Structure 1
Amino acid sequence: MEAFAIARVQLSFASITATPTGPERFATAFYTTLWAEAAGTRDLFPAGMEGMRHRFTTAVGWVINRLTDVDAVEAFLGQLARDHRKYGVRPDHFRAAGHALLVAVRECTPLILWTAALERTWSRVIGRLVEAMAVACEEDDLPASWGATVVGHERVLPDLAIIRLETDSPIPFHAGQYMSVQIPQRPNMWRYLSAAIPPNPHGQIEFHVRRVSTGWVSPALVGEVSVGDRWTIGPPLGGLAVDLESGQDALMIASGTGLAPMRAQIMEMAMRGNNPRVHLFYGGQYPCDLYDLETLWHIAMTNPWLTIVPVIEQPENPWWHPFPPKEAPPGLNRPMYGKLGKVAAQFGTWADRQIQIAGSPSMIRTTLYALSAAGTPRQNIRFDPL
């Protein structure tokens, strides 16, 4: 598609999400139209739609902003289509969703921008996106989901747990990917979690979960899950990975449980003999937020290609964690102080690196801003939209 047409679509979508209420209005218009025009589709979705509406708008925005990167968009849409099979979604549902998406775009784009030509362009774009998802859903021969049993639940902080499971059969994911999970304490609600260890033939998997006070699922994951619980896990998603063929070194920036996909990749790389250099900036507000720093130190001490840079905003732990910060082993980096993105950007543009960011949406936004302000090429940076 010509660059001018893509720019028109991107400008239109930017106008939809420009106001604080815009994303919610857009998602609501989409789901209202879909449920009204495609009989039975409401039953495919959970009762609580707040998180799903947010993820929907985020996913659409991610795709629209990358329409020129055809391979990345097709890979993401294929993963998303396969993931939706766990809801019982069929290829014809995606085509119905395409019409609902066009209606939502028409309703939410400011009237001054909407023209017949723009509608035709949006229709072409949506048609291609929807058909890619329908084909991926139709051609997928993997299970729609996997069963798994909880074999370990460790509360490492009051609001953070490490959960280990064994799946009934191995899930074909790669280090750096994430999956949706459904737990018995919150039926019909799904939460995306990143695998914190690389895949293995025994189907063992580990997730790191931080409680979100306003969340539906994370409080149960941290406080209610027990050994023996049976989970349902959806297909793998995401594209974070170190490109070993590029010859480029890697920069990883992670905060909180955003460490999980970086940790899985680093563990997998430690099993190989030849790796690019990897700098990992691992950040949190307090020293205790770097809950898995010792594991990273152990890996770094035997793998000279790995450099760990702890970044904290406060030098001492809070009152509710009355333990002194751990000292770095000799020869390894001591903590730096400040905002994670700003600290990483102090070291230059990192223009020669392939860059990954993982953490909360606000952390990703501020880090992108700090790196861009330092001159980092935007095309070098990768993060997962969901």
Structure 2
Amino acid sequence: MDSRTVALIRTTFKAVAAEEGGPERLARSFYAILFSEYPQVRDFFPAAMDSQRDRLVKAIGYALDRLEEPNKLLPFLAQLGRDHRKYGVQAEHYVAVATSLKTAMRRFAGTEMWTDEVERAWDEGLTVISETMMGAAEKEVTPAVWSGRVLENRLVLRNLAIVRLQLDQPMQYAAGQYMSVQIPSRPRMWRYLSPAVPANANGEIEFHVRGVLGGWVSPAIVGQTQVGDQWLIGSPLGGLGVPRNTKRKMLMVGCGTGIAPLRAQLMQMALRRTNPKVHLFVGGHHPCDLYDLETLSKLAMANRWLTVTPVSESDENPWWHYEAGEVERIWPGLEPRMTGQIGKVVASYGPWADRDVQIVGSPSMVQTTKFRLMASGTQTKNIRHDPLF
């Protein structure tokens, strides 16, 4: 696509999204058109559509921001295409989605903004997206979905569980990637989780899950998962990871269960002969949120290239986390725990100009940490994180 086409697509989308309630109105209109004109696709979606609508607009915005960066956009779309095989999506479904989205955009843009040139631009953009996704799906030879049997659901905090599964067949994924999962009690509600261990020939996989207050899926995973439950797992997604022969030092920042994909990468790196220096900051609201320090201690003790600094916003644990006579443990190989907001703590160390940076956590944590690092002198091009939707 040329720059004119990209500009027309972005301008119309941002104009619609900038209106009061624009993103939500656009998403509601899109799904209303899609389900009324193509009722056969309704079964692909969950009964409750609130989070689905929010993710739609964020995903569109993410793709549009990268229209002029095909080296970033096309691999992302290809991964989405492979992942969408789990729904049984066919070519006609992509046509239905593209037509419905364009109709919704035209409705909100109005006749003055929606010119013939704008329509042609959207046709071209949607064609690139759908053809890339369909092409990747057609070429893929791996399963559309894996099945995993729960081996263990271990509660490590009141609202945080470590779940181990045995896949029906091994899955090849890069340490640092994430994937969609569906649990038996929440059909058609796929949620993204990052494995906390590298891929292995035994087909064993581990997820760290925090129950989000008011969420549909994560509280059910934490509180209701039973040994023997069968999960469905989609194709791996994401671009985090440390190239085998890189010489660039690394800065990793993870908060809460965001430690999972970073931990998986460190485990994978520990199997290599040589590695660049890595400084990992692992954070949480309270000291008890730093639930995986034992594993990180073992990794740091065995690998001199790894430095781990725990960070918590508070020095005290919450009222519900009480253990008689509890004394904060000093873990060998780890730096002393620091107190403060993790982004501020990391940025206080300097610009990290010699580092490639990975940030994993909630969208707000990722954005805040990224902005603080940029303000301290870290170049944006050296900072990586997964899409925030």
Contact preservation (8 Å) 1:16, 1:110: no
Aligned-partner Cα distance in 2 for 1:76–1:179 = 13
Q: Deviations over 1:61-86 (max 9, x none)?
A: 11111122212211111111121111
Q: Deviations over 1:163-208 (max 9, x none)?
A: 0000010112111111111111222221111101001001000000
Contact preservation (8 Å) 2:44, 2:188: no
Superposition pairs for residues 1-386 of structure 1, below 5 Å?
1-18=1-18, 21-109=21-109, 113-323=113-323, 324=326, 326-329=328-331, 332-385=334-387, 386=389
Please, which moves more after superposition, 137-146 or 113-122? 113-122
| TM-score, structure 1 as length reference | 0.94
Find the residue that maps to 1:67 and give its secondary structure.
Answer: coil
Provide closer, same or farther for how the CA distance between residues 17 and 290 of structure 1 changes in structure 2, counting only shifts above 3 A.
farther
Provide closer, same or farther for how the CA distance between residues 13 and 281 of structure 1 changes in structure 2, counting only shifts above 3 A.
farther
Contact preservation (8 Å) 2:300, 2:333: no
Aligned-partner Cα distance in 1 for 2:3–2:282 = 38
Aligned-partner Cα distance in 2 for 1:114–1:245 = 49
Aligned-partner Cα distance in 2 for 1:35–1:90 = 16
Find the residue that maps to 1:40 and give its secondary structure.
Answer: helix
Q: Deviations over 1:115-165 (max 9, x none)?
A: 443333222212111111121222222211111110011000000000000
Aligned-partner Cα distance in 2 for 1:138–1:28 = 30
Contact preservation (8 Å) 1:95, 1:134: no
Unaligned runs of 5+ in 2: none
Please, which moves more after superposition, 259-268 or 100-109? 100-109
The residue type paired with residue 376 of structure 1 is: T
How many matched pairs?
386
Contact preservation (8 Å) 1:94, 1:133: no
Please, which moves more after superposition, 365-374 or 156-165? 365-374
Please, which moves more after superposition, 124-133 or 7-16? 7-16
The residue type paired with residue 147 of structure 2 is: G
Aligned-partner Cα distance in 2 for 1:108–1:297 = 54
Find the residue that maps to 1:60 and give its secondary structure.
Answer: helix
Aligned-partner Cα distance in 1 for 2:357–2:10 = 24
| TM-score, structure 2 as length reference | 0.93
Contact preservation (8 Å) 1:91, 1:137: no
The residue type paired with residue 339 of structure 1 is: Q
Provide closer, same or farther for how the CA distance between residues 22 and 340 of structure 1 changes in structure 2, counting only shifts above 3 A.
farther
Provide closer, same or farther for how the CA distance between residues 37 and 147 of structure 1 changes in structure 2, counting only shifts above 3 A.
same
Shift of 1:299: 0.4
Aligned-partner Cα distance in 2 for 1:222–1:83 = 24
Aligned-partner Cα distance in 2 for 1:347–1:269 = 24
Contact preservation (8 Å) 2:210, 2:218: yes
Contact preservation (8 Å) 1:282, 1:311: yes
Shift of 1:330: 5.0
Provide closer, same or farther for how the CA distance between residues 11 and 252 of structure 1 changes in structure 2, counting only shifts above 3 A.
farther
Contact preservation (8 Å) 2:162, 2:208: yes
Contact preservation (8 Å) 1:253, 1:282: yes
Please, which moves more after superposition, 116-125 or 354-363? 116-125
Q: Deviations over 1:245-270 (max 9, x none)?
A: 44211111111111111111111111
Contact preservation (8 Å) 1:341, 1:366: yes
Q: Deviations over 1:280-323 (max 9, x none)?
A: 11111100011101211110111111111111110121221124
Aligned-partner Cα distance in 1 for 2:331–2:257 = 23
Provide closer, same or farther for how the CA distance between residues 10 and 345 of structure 1 changes in structure 2, counting only shifts above 3 A.
farther
Aligned-partner Cα distance in 2 for 1:3–1:85 = 32
Contact preservation (8 Å) 2:196, 2:206: yes
For the aligned residues, what is the CA RMSD?
A: 1.9
Aligned-partner Cα distance in 2 for 1:253–1:7 = 34
Percent sequence identity is 50
Please, which moves more after superposition, 336-345 or 105-114? 105-114
